[in-house]
Amino acid sequence: MVRKSATGRIGIADVAVKAGVSHATVSRVMNGNFTVDPDIAARVRAAAAELKYQPNPVGRSLALGKTDTIGIVVPDLANPTFQAILRGLSRAAAQDGYRILIADTFEVSSEEAILAGEARRRCDGLVLCAPRMSDAELEEIAPSLHPLVLINRTTATAGVPSLVVDYGQGVQDLAEHLVGLGHTRLAFLAGPARSASNGLRLQGLAAFKAAHPQVEVRMLEGGSDFDTGHRAVDAVLDSGATGILAFNDLVAMGLLSGLHERGVKVPEDISVTGFDDIPFARYTTPTLTTAAVPITELGQQAWHQMRALIRKESSDVPGSRYQPRLEVRGSTGPARAARSAVHG
């Protein structure tokens, strides 16, 4: 008869007695050590199944020196873009037996370094997704987070792969699309001030303005969520712009909603573009013109890079650069003047 421990939990000692082996043998079998004789290993597993033994994950982690968990820090898990990255990461990691620990900073950049450090201490590696911290802070903390993978940021720290979307070129493509429709007064609803991807968009727009001095591009305060776009209606209308470049699809959707409430027709009166191509973008009314980013692939590739670091498969840790793809839909059309010329 097997006696439970004082806590009422079946332990390694119980399995050892049942199988007639040592504690160490049970431990090796449970931790996947293939040096144990197959017949003995089968006997141990049968005893464990009969006793309904569940290994203590904390003890197993201590014994193996790893947790089979990686962490990811995101600025806003409510954003579908980060949800898609997480989905790609978690599905790819699960195929290799890894779980994901998620930390959401709620766009509070001062919390990022603290959460990143805490998550790394509990995991085998860390993915920092679009961190809002300054370059100096990222450079300072990166060496302590190895193995580390960055999404939409780069660092000079050796051995840290970066997966970066070319937001600058993406926003230029959107602006070129609007100019091709006859829009000469554009406005950019900016993202969070500390967002590196917002900085890349601003650089792209600076290059666009240099190439198109006849086009006016107004900069408007914004953010990254639906409410930001909805609140921006007055600023957008006051700007006189006929083509709007929203920081992302959520902001664009909020703007579409607000314009509809004011009776402003899209794209007849004003054209609106987003960025990212989240799943909802093709179901808005009208459907949203945007720059499509392979979001789920970013998550999958983040795991592939992390797996290589954990397994020390290569000393060369490359990064990847992703080019957004222009998706033209119903939210953009000819500017009013261009439309009048066509239909006049």
pLDDT in tens, 192-244: 988 889 999 999 999 999 999 999 999 999 899 999 999 999 999 999 999 99
Confidence of residue 292 (pLDDT cuts 50, 70, 90): very high
Confidence of residue 342 (pLDDT cuts 50, 70, 90): very low
Confidence of residue 5 (pLDDT cuts 50, 70, 90): very low
**Cβ-proximal residues to 79 (8 Å cutoff; 6+ apart), any chain:** 224, 225, 248, 250
State the angle between helix axes of 12-19 and 23-30 in degrees (0 to 180), rounded to the nearest 10: 110
Give CA–CA dist 307/330, Å, rounded.
Answer: 41
What is the location of CATH 1.10.260.40 in the chain?
Answer: 12-64
Give CA–CA dist 129/149, Å, rounded.
Answer: 8
Mapping DSSP to helix (H, G, I), strand (E, B) and coil, where does residue 33 land?
A: coil
Q: In what order do the strands lie in the sheet with 243-246?
A: 216-220, 185-189, 243-246, 271-273
Confidence of residue 65 (pLDDT cuts 50, 70, 90): low
Q: Is 132 a residue whose pLDDT tops 70?
A: yes
What is the location of CATH 3.40.50.2300 in the chain?
Answer: 69-165+295-323, 167-293+327-343
What average pLDDT does range 114-119 have in this prediction? 90
Buried b (16+ CB within 10 A) or exposed e, 1-34: eeeeeeeeebbbebbbbbbebeeebbbbbbeeee
pLDDT in tens, 306-318: 999 998 886 455 5
Predicted TM-score (pTM) above 0.75: yes
| Nearest C-alpha neighbor of 79 from the set 245, 250, 203 | 250
CATH class of the 12-64 domain in this structure: mainly alpha
CATH 3.40.50.2300 for domain 167-293+327-343? yes
Confidence of residue 16 (pLDDT cuts 50, 70, 90): confident
| Nearest C-alpha neighbor of 303 from the set 123, 156, 91 | 91
Kindly state the tokens that stand for 12.
Answer: 């390694």
Kindly state the tokens that stand for 112.
Answer: 């990022």
Kindly state the tokens that stand for 183.
Answer: 């829009």
Give CA–CA dist 273/289, Å, rounded.
Answer: 5
What average pLDDT does range 36-64 have in this prediction? 73
**Max Cα separation, the chain?**
95
CATH of 69-165+295-323, one of 3.40.50.1860, 3.10.310.10, 3.40.50.300, 3.40.50.2300: 3.40.50.2300
Strands 325-327 and 290-292: antiparallel
Q: What is the pLDDT of residue 36?
A: 77
If 0-12 CB within 10 Å is exposed, 13-18 middle and 19+ buried, where does residue 81 land? buried
pLDDT in tens, 70-105: 999 999 898 999 999 999 999 999 999 999 999 998
- Which of residues 114 and 243 earns the better pLDDT score? 243
pLDDT in tens, 144-192: 999 999 999 988 888 899 999 999 999 999 999 999 999 999 999 999 9
Residue 103 — φ and ψ, nearest 5°? -125, 125
Mapping DSSP to helix (H, G, I), strand (E, B) and coil, where does residue 132 land?
A: coil
Whether the CB-CB separation of 204 and 169 falls below 8 Å is answered with: yes
How many Cα atoms within 13 Å fall on the side-chain side of residue 293? 29
What average pLDDT does range 19-40 have in this prediction? 77
Q: What is the pLDDT of residue 316?
A: 55
* Lookup result for tokens 């261009």: 338
